[in-house]
Structure 1
Amino acid sequence: MIFQSRATPVGLCTALISSKWVRVGHSGVAQRHMSRRVSSPTAGPMGDHAGGASVSGPRGAHSPSGSVSLGVGVAGMGALAFGYHLGVINGPLEAIASDLGFGGNATLQGLVVSSLLAFAAVGSLGGSGLADRLGRRRAFLLDAAPLIIGPLISSLATSPAFMIAGRAITGAGIGLSSALVPVYISEVAPPSQRGALGTLNQVLICAGILAALVLNVLVPTRNWRALFWVGALPAVLLGAGMLFLAPETPSWLGLSGQHALADETAHRLWGPGGEALLEADMAGHAKSDGGPKDRAQWGEVVANRGALTGAALFFLQQFSGINAIVYFSSSVFEVGPGDAVQGSSWVQTRAPW
């Protein structure tokens, strides 16, 4: 849960808050769910909901159902958008600067790039609280708005301020998604599959960066506005999927006091043994976190060796040169022979990060 994003300020923020938030959030679920054991609804409704899951028999509770795969896939659009917006600015940055009248102005070019990251860091800090108050699905629906509006503003930009505003709004959206995606995947996945499915967050971030680089090669830089239109598509899929297809997580339903619905959802997602898996999962969290007195405080998190190691890794990544390659390699290759965008894409797709 700590390593949620690539080498950005967002990753550092989430590294420091994730261990504290996950313990507090799940302990609340565990205490409320275990304090009141609610039996499942009648066999009819349960059978209807379970029919949508591609599981049967004892092993079904340990295999991802179709509903789980669908939920993970929809949430993954947030991670894909994260990566895409990190890499999309690389190729057309010089063309954008030329068209919007700030060609050669390194300060404004830097602001176009860094505004995304600055607001992403802010957005990542609010993601967990938003998900607790609204629920995971509704938080994603809210997150889809800046991920659609921001790229569209950038695509219509006629001035540096317009472009920076669009990038800042987009940054707030990817910051929220950096906190929401791994939480949703971990809660909707069966306990035995959380590690494997949790890695998809990183995979999709990298896939988004790669997709942006490929489009940088295929789309002429003079058509840079089209790249931002494409960037809105994952957010459209995220919003529509969360509105019509993806389930709420059993953990949040338990946290919000909807215990019967939590059991029903666990059954639908994880199969006939879903309620038992949810109860065992919540019992494990309750055992590891006995109550408010045992919850981690910020001082404990900062003093924790694991948290410090994770934060140190993010700091060290900032000095590895990865950010210069992700955001400015096309500009760097302008001073050398060959095509700048193709050269930078070749380096990024073959670099060992």
Structure 2
Amino acid sequence: MTSTLGNVTPYLVILVIVATLGPLQFGFHLAELNAPQDVITCQQKKAASGFKDKLMSLASKGGSAASLDCIPMSPASFAAISAIFTAGGLIGALAAGPLTSRRGRRLPMQLTAALYLLGSVIETFAASVPVMILARSLTGMGAGASTVIVPLYISEVAPPAKRGFFGAFTQISINVGILFTQTLGYFLSHDSAWRWIFGTGVIIAVAQAFGLVIIPESPSWLANVKGDAAHARRALQRIRGKHINIDEEVEAWGAGDGKPPGERERLLPEDDGGVAETGTGLLSPSAASARSQKAHLGFVQVVSDPLYRPAIVAVVGIMFAQQLCGINSIIMYSVSLLKDLLPISSAVLTIVISIINLGITIAASPLPDRLGRKTCLLTSIIGQGSSSLALALSIMFGFKILSAVTVLLFVAFFAVGLGPVPFIMASELVGPEAVGATQSWALGASYIATFLVAYLFPIVNEALNKALGGAGWVYFIFTGFALLWTIFITRNVPETNGKRDADEVWGRARRTD
């Protein structure tokens, strides 16, 4: 870790921290209903152990809805509140790609902060199911957009040799958010104190909004889309440090090097329109038009273009593999799955699993740059498939301790590759002109796959257990999926580590447009 962080400026670290507050809130809101579910839905009212909800007391004086200790609702209503977050995420992910391509990375991140803030405020004072659904849909849209924009932004500000390491911070921040909200839930799941969980989301959103004021626009976007290579070069130099040579990175932009006028324009031929590209980074009309067309490839355009279709197939497959290998069967249903396996409360058990997931993700963050993206993906999938097989057999034969250990291995293998790497790959498999739309395809696939596992796992698990007798049969399905995705990634996903751009990744002649 120390060697990986060598030559990294404090300014870059600040940028990554601020940017990853978006994915952190994704994890935070994803898990915020887990611990306080029974209290929120009026099924249980745990006595407060000396913790006074001051905000709710003040609100209750005016008869505010916030004075309610719970919101009466049926299991179906609670399921709707939970599921709407995923639906909002899908909308946010699909909308973020085109917006990011056209308006840059900074403005869309600011919009996600606004969505998080508004949704969290509404959640904190909600007194009915429809209001909670509205709030969760807003935070879901912010989450979906964040998981498209932030990995892209990080890949464009991180040094090329360290993109895998910094790319892992998207998944790390999601895990931090999950662990944070589950810990809050352990202490605040009583009376009306659970509203402080949602109130904490307001604080995080405000911190993100203020932090985004100081971060710059992506240098790559400034050069390749806006055509302002001089501005892009200054921004990149500040991120890398005054004494770092950035010429190789600037050359990869293909939009001018941003050097002073006169130094380049003597060397550049005139284009077909008779206007040379100048050192100011401004493109000639014909070149600017061509680049603008390339820069704004839409959601449908990238999949219909044979040049980009293999990348879309690859990223969609990776995202489906991330979910269909079964991680959310553990993250979302570990309480019921393991409640009889260990002498520990379900809330504490959930926190332990989150700690392990976070710890392994941090420890493994240098691996994508050292071993390669594809190697980490295959290691992760094979490890999860083996763990699924062992978990199925241990549950069937009643080896309780082995079942618990296997679950921890299952989560650990996920953290090695399938957790962080998919967020890196989408930005490396295509050029800047298609990366926004590709990220939308990737995250759209992720949210669809997440919904499928979240909704179908308990149904399929119960059906198989009744039909075949015993328990654990569903993990044979996840073992089969692991074998399927191992074959898919071996055949369809190229290695991107150490490659200069998407053309080199796919073995194409480098484009000059």
TM-score for both structures, normalised by structure 2 = 0.50
* Percent identity between the two aligned chains: 29
Deviations 1:157-184 (A, max 9, x none): 1011111111110000011111111111
Structure possessing the higher radius of gyration over alpha carbons: 2
| 1:238 partnered with 2:208 | yes
Q: 1:118, 1:212 → 2: CA distance?
A: 21
Contact kept, 8 Å, 1:191 with 1:277, in 2: the verdict is no
Corresponding residue of 1:83: 27
Contact kept, 8 Å, 2:186 with 2:347, in 1: the verdict is yes
| 1:161 partnered with 2:105 | no
1:198 maps to amino acid: G
Corresponding residue of 2:316: 311
Within 5 Å, which residues of 2 pair with 1:30-109?
Answer: 63-98=7-42, 99-102=70-73, 105-109=74-78
Q: RCO greater where, 1 or 2, for CA within 8 Å and sep 6 or more?
A: 1
| 1:117 partnered with 2:117 | no
Corresponding residue of 2:164: 195
Contact kept, 8 Å, 1:90 with 1:326, in 2: the verdict is no
Corresponding residue of 1:218: 187
Contact kept, 8 Å, 1:67 with 1:247, in 2: the verdict is no
Aligned length: 284
Corresponding residue of 1:267: 237
Corresponding residue of 1:10: none
Query: Which of 149, 161, 174 is residue 205 of structure 1 equivalent to?
Result: 174
Corresponding residue of 1:281: 252
Q: 1:236, 1:274 → 2: CA distance?
A: 36
Change (3 A) 1:346 1:195: closer
| 1:258 partnered with 2:244 | no
216-225 or 155-164, which deviates more: 216-225
Structure 2, unaligned stretches of length 5 or more?
Answer: 1-5, 43-69, 256-289, 357-407, 415-513
Aligned-residue CA RMSD in angstroms? 3.1
Q: 1:187, 1:318 → 2: CA distance?
A: 26
Corresponding residue of 2:389: none
Q: 1:339, 1:312 → 2: CA distance?
A: 37
Q: 1:128, 1:309 → 2: CA distance?
A: 17
Q: 1:139, 1:313 → 2: CA distance?
A: 25
Q: 2:209, 2:89 → 1: CA distance?
A: 19
More helix as a share of residues: 1
1:342 maps to amino acid: V
Contact kept, 8 Å, 1:185 with 1:197, in 2: the verdict is yes
Change (3 A) 1:225 1:328: farther
TM-score for both structures, normalised by structure 1 = 0.71
Contact kept, 8 Å, 1:67 with 1:246, in 2: the verdict is no
Contact kept, 8 Å, 1:78 with 1:234, in 2: the verdict is no
